[in-house]
Structure 1
Amino acid sequence: MKAENAVPILRELIENGRLSQRQLADRCGLSLGTVNHVVNRAIEKKYLERREEGLYVTEAGFDWLVPYQVKNAIILAAGFSASTLSLSATMPPGFLEVKGEIMIERQIEQLLERGIREIAIVVGFRMESYDYLVDRYGVKLIYNPDFSKINNFASLMYALDYLDNTYLLVADSYLEENIFHRYEPYAWYSVSYCEGETSDWCVDLTPGGRIKNMRVGGKNCMAVVGPAYYDRSMSANIRSFFEHNTSEVEMSNAYWEARLLEHFEDFPKRANIQTGKVYEFTRIEDVHAYDKAYLKEVRDQIAAYYADAWSISSEKIEKITPLADEVGYDVYKFVIDRHEYVLRVPDKNCEAFIDNAKVKQTYELLAPLEVTDEVLNFDIPTGIRVTRYVERSSFVDPFDDRDLADSMQLIRLIHDRKLKVDYDYDIEKMTAYYENKVYRTGGMPFRDIDDVKAKMKNLLKLKERLNIEPVLCHGDYLYAHVVRKTTGGLFIINWEFAGMSDPLMDVAMFGIYSYFDQARLDLSLALYLGREPTQEELIRLYLYVALGGLLWSMWGLQRKRSGFDLGAYPLKMYRYLKDFYPLAMV
């Protein structure tokens, strides 16, 4: 019975009470077969007991867990916070307020919630600011006199006596969820995907989630962000590292970075992927970009934007409300002179290949048709756009025949206008882009990817042979981009992927996003055409079902690596290529 499987299962039963074995599989990220095996072995060893109410951890089970019990936590808070650059050099690390909570207080409370009461904080800059935490939470403060010379990790040398089964936290971290536990099976680093340039410690991951190398700085990669966990064996390595690498003359950050890289093999090799759940905020600007509850700050941001764009005073902007999130955007509704508007701000994960100038051109071309949201202002450098708010009842239901028919007829109306732009919907280029991101963030999980890519090449050759006249297409035509107004009509939002393509591509995309089977895909095409499709038209549909499946499977994989819970989406998309390839290549 492997501890890496058994410890998470037993601790879930301790922390969350009665759970089915399927629920345990979901919570622990294990296969149902593995959970069944561990549960059966644990019952044999009398670590678990099956009662009428469910599975319970026995006294023997608690005894078995003792070596994996977390003993304490160390929070590193000795250095200068980058927030001092914008807050008059007065704020030490960990004291930014996010969603109404002080970051360091939130982390302490999350530890206490898991029963971890021995907490030490390594302090330096403005150490007196942390004193109240001793009285409030019973923490211990450890002073680092070299805080101005060495980095946060190096300040750990002043807390070596506390290393055991230990969580290591950074004061400037914000954890959306409580990722701590009373028991841990092995040492790990929390890692997150970083879009664009980063100066953090960057890592490469194996498909199994192990760290295979480390470097300082990188681009579009996984990076060490947030907490770590050191078990007793790893803590012994850390103590040895400091004992053999501490120098009276060499205490610079560059020195420590070089030593850490030399001793990479001595550090945790497991990655605890927490993209989208763990953040490090060192500037108030970072908090504003993240925390939608900061409506006052958001109001000021919108006010400044409008003052420049429309010469409107900030006093006129009212009732700023975050709307339901869209992937890639922060969306706010607000009111000026009783008129309602929407502000869309691209987030840091916005696709790198999206050209805002082209997006703006698409909206301008579509404006006379009144089939999309009315864009009032579009800032090309940032991608921020302002639209008139339209009262909506819901997105369309792809399994409602009326909604499906209306959606197909609306996109057909746009296609029939044969609108032209000078940019293509390049499905081959986009697939390669996402595939590369998958390889960079842990490797390709699909073992037959080479065979699938060979099929893709054949499909692309078929696409060229068909030589269909392209028109402006949406490119991301899914039911959540088709909105029914309260007045009954439809309009289409989010044209970021638009470009020239075979119009049946949009029909295919609508279908695969909705997980349509072949029969409903065929129905969609018939509703689009207003008649029964020909054999060639069906082949074109299946061609784009297959190509779209591979494209969005790669997109889904890299999104999952970035922390988005997409469930079986990547696999379902991957199956579309495999299942519809033979139908397209008849």
Structure 2
Amino acid sequence: MNKMSNDKFLVLNIINTKSINSQRKLAEETTFSLGKINRLVVELKNEKFLAENMDLTIKGKEYCSKQRIRRAIILAAGYGMRMVPINTEEPKGLLEINGEPLIERIIKQLHSVGIKEIYIVVGFMKEHYEYLIDKFGVKLIINSHYENYKNMYSLFLTRNYLMNSYIIPCDIWFKENPFSNVGSESYYLFSKEQVINSKWEVQPRGGVKKSLKELGDRMVGLAFINKYDGEIIKGLLNKANQSPNLFHNFWEKILEQNKKFILKGKLISSDDFKEINSYEELRDLDFNSSHLQSDSIKIIENILKTDLNGISNIKVLKKGMTNRSFFFEHNDDKYIMRIPGKGTDELINRRDEFETYEAIKDLGWTENILYLNPNNGYKLSKFIKNAKNCNPNDLKQVAKCMDLLRKFHSSNIKVNHCFNLYKQINFYEDLRNGQSAYRDYKTIKKRVFKLRPFIERNVKKKVLCHIDANPDNFIFSKNHLYLIDWEYAGMQDPDIDIAMFAIYAMYDQQKIDKLIQFYYHNQCDSLTKQKIYAYIAACGLLWSNWCEYKQSLGLDFGAYSIAQYRYAKEYSKKVLNYLGE
């Protein structure tokens, strides 16, 4: 019964809702040919859904009643990385088009066809959606893993509500209401627009096959799932839960089974909807949207003397450990806008950073800063063209980086703030506010702090140091080498920068010794080398605590965090053995 075709059900439902019993009027209503209408009516009569006078039989009425669409699921948990810079202030489901939030438009369209049971899966900025409970009577489902998994996990959380339900992305805008309160055959909505990131094509009768070309029909994201297919998809989601790596995929991944798409396809014109995936897509749909005027965009407009039309090709950069940044173009130049990341205010003194950039602005091998706010850390800089980060496994590049560090340290630039290593370890430890995940942390901390007198006795001079001197911050561009991102910089022993480079690159002892000799031009004495080992231990404990604090905010740095703790453990032992302790 659930396998009735869409065409047949369309005819049955029109007869049921509009009391039409003329085949000619049915043809006008459906735009089907008279011959097709005649065939469908004959089949419905033979299957006892229609009586001879074209009235619905009891069986037909019961069938139509069972096909009522009961509910809708809206997927709104995602971070929406491509919505930078907007997503620093509002989740993308609440972006406004013509003064109306996207998700409210979807809810109103559902309500207008009588669908009131609505589940919204939220995660990123979930609190911003809370008001919808009172305003529209929706139910919120919390996805706590939105940063790690894609929306297949969100759908898994709603697996018990899939039957006779719509699945809807929160970031889509439909010109006309796409929803109905009745449905028989499941479908997935595609656009007629051909795109490179789809491998599917909708066939004339609704079947979906793999495209033989490089392009396929654009996947819109909306689907209707009937009871029959809802049970199948629920089973597939339960199976995925046994292999959680599958949750790193979008939910459409489970619609491909045995190299076939398990739902029928339905096509919509690309003019009838807009998917809002980026700042520029929002701008193109509603130039006056209030969300286009984020703090970072206002800064760009003011500094570059431009407006919204002058900002193009916005792309989020790799999610950094401390900040979120995005790239954009203006005229023929390229820029990077830094937006401070989660918890950054606790970690970095922006006024100290401002002082550092003022002190180094004439060096010629730092980034070109156009704007830096000492209060909130927003930074606008020119993009370094033809750039590539230092490869820590390329010894020639590493040697050049150490020469630049040595040159910088020799310049004896001074600022009024210092980087107090041991004070920072305690500071990060207090920030994480709880017991360390490492069982022997207290023992290792005691060992690292035992190195402090040895380090302080052997500091020859203090100069401005980068502190965050990791390979990614050394940028090669043609014949020029830059050192960027001076957030942590302060007065310190220059040997600390060598240690920082080593532990960021996750070097073993052989590579660390090679790095030290690069900096010292093969003239490093044993005592200095042991002092650098001591810095490696202390800096390892510093960044281990930093990682634990960041993990408490929901960020995970994988192997990096354990590697830092291992440096603290292994190198504190090496130096204490050297000192005979």
Counterpart for residue 461 of structure 2: 469
Pick the aligned partner of 1:437 from 431, 434, 440: 431
The question of whether the paired residues in 2 share the 8 Å contact of 1:304 and 1:314 is answered with no
Q: Determine the structure 1 residue equivalent to 2:500.
A: 509
2:344 match: secondary structure: coil
Local SS of the residue matching 1:365: helix
Deviations 1:445-504 (A, max 9, x none): 11212211211221122222224311111111111111111x132111111000111111
Contact kept in structure 2, 1:133 and 1:139, CA below 8 Å: no
Partner of residue 110, structure 1: none
Deviations, residues 112-168 of structure 1 (Å, cap 9, x unaligned): xxxxxxxxxxxxxxx866515855x98599xxxxxxxxx98998xx99xxxxxxx96
- Conservation of the 8 A alpha-carbon contact between 1:292 and 1:322: no
Q: 1:494 aligned to 2:485?
A: yes
Q: Paired residue for 1:354, among 315, 328, 348?
A: 348
Q: Which amino acid in 1 is paired with 2:457?
A: R
Alignment partner of 1:344: what SS? strand
Q: Deviations over 1:498-527 (max 9, x none)?
A: 011111111011111111111111110100
Report SS of the residue matched to 2:433. Answer: helix
Moved over 6 A (4+): 72-76, 151-155, 170-176
Counterpart-to-counterpart distance in 1, 2:119 and 2:539: 56
Q: Deviations over 1:384-424 (max 9, x none)?
A: 12212211342111111111111111111101111111111
Give the whole-Å Cα distance in 1 for the aligned partners of 2:92 and 2:516: 56
Task: Give runs of aligned pairs for residues 175-574 of structure 1, distance below 5 A.
Answer: 177-178=150-151, 179-180=153-154, 293-295=278-280, 296=283, 297=291, 302-309=296-303, 311-440=305-434, 443-485=435-477, 487-574=478-565
Rate the CA distance shift 1:584–1:320 in 2: closer, same or farther, 3 A.
Answer: same
Report if aligned partners of 1:392, 1:483 keep a CA contact under 8 Å in 2. Answer: no
Deviation sequence 1:62-89 (CA, Å, 0-9, x none): xxxxxxxxxx99999xxxxxxxxxxxxx
> CA 1:132–1:364 in structure 2 vs 1: closer, same or farther (change >3 Å)?
same
Task: Give the residue type in structure 2 aligned to 1:484.
Answer: F
Which residue identity is paired with 1:511?
A
Structure 1 segment 31-110 matched on structure 2, within 5 A: 96-97=94-95
Closer, same or farther: CA 550–171 of 1 in aligned 2, 3 Å: closer
Give, in whole Å, the separation in 1 of the partners of 2:551 and 2:144. 25
Q: What do residues 178-237 of structure 1 show as CA deviations (whole Å, max 9, x unaligned)? A: 3357699xxxxxxxxxxxxxxxxxxxxxxxxxxxxxxxxxxxxxxxxxxxxxxxxxxxxx
What is the distance in 1 between the residues matched to 2:538 and 2:410?
23
Larger Rg: 2
Greater shift in the superposed pair: 337-346 or 391-400: 337-346
Give 5+ residue unaligned stretches, structure 2: 1-69, 75-90, 121-129, 159-275, 284-290
3-state DSSP of counterpart to 1:335: strand
For residues 153 and 310 of structure 1, the distance between their equivalents in structure 2, rounded to whole angstroms, comes to 39
CA–CA separation in structure 1 for the residues paired with 2:495 and 2:354: 24
| Bigger mean CA deviation after superposition, 328-337 or 174-183 | 174-183
SS of structure 2 residue aligned to 1:435:
helix
Residues in 1 aligned to 2:71 and 2:443: alpha-carbon distance in whole angstroms: 48
* Aligned partner of 1:578 among 569, 572, 575: 569
Q: How many residue pairs are counted as aligned between the two chains?
A: 354
Distance in structure 2 (CA, Å) of the matches to 1:435 and 1:320: 37
| 2:73/2:119 contact within 8 Å kept | no
Per the alignment, do residues 339 and 543 of structure 1 end up closer, same or farther by CA in structure 2, a change over 3 Å counting? same
Cα distance in structure 2, aligned partners of 1:338 and 1:583: 53
Could you tell me which amino acid in structure 2 is paired with residue 293 of structure 1?
A: S
C-alpha contact (below 8 Å) 2:296/2:378 kept by paired residues: no
User: Which residue in 2 is equivalent to 1:131?
Assistant: 111
Q: CA RMSD in A?
A: 4.2
Q: Is the 8 A contact 1:74 1:169 kept in 2?
A: no
- CA distance, structure 2, for counterparts of residue 438 and residue 389 of structure 1: 34
Say if 1:130 and 1:183 are closer, same or farther in 2 by CA, change over 3 A.
Answer: closer
Q: Where does the alignment leave 5 or more consecutive residues of structure 1 unmatched?
A: 1-71, 77-92, 107-126, 142-150, 160-166, 185-290
Aligned to 1:247: none
Structure 2 Cα separation of the partners of residues 354 and 432 of structure 1 = 15
Give the whole-Å Cα distance in 2 for the aligned partners of 1:183 and 1:325.
26
Task: Give the CA deviation at 1:329.
Answer: 2.4
Distance 1:459 1:385 in 2: 37
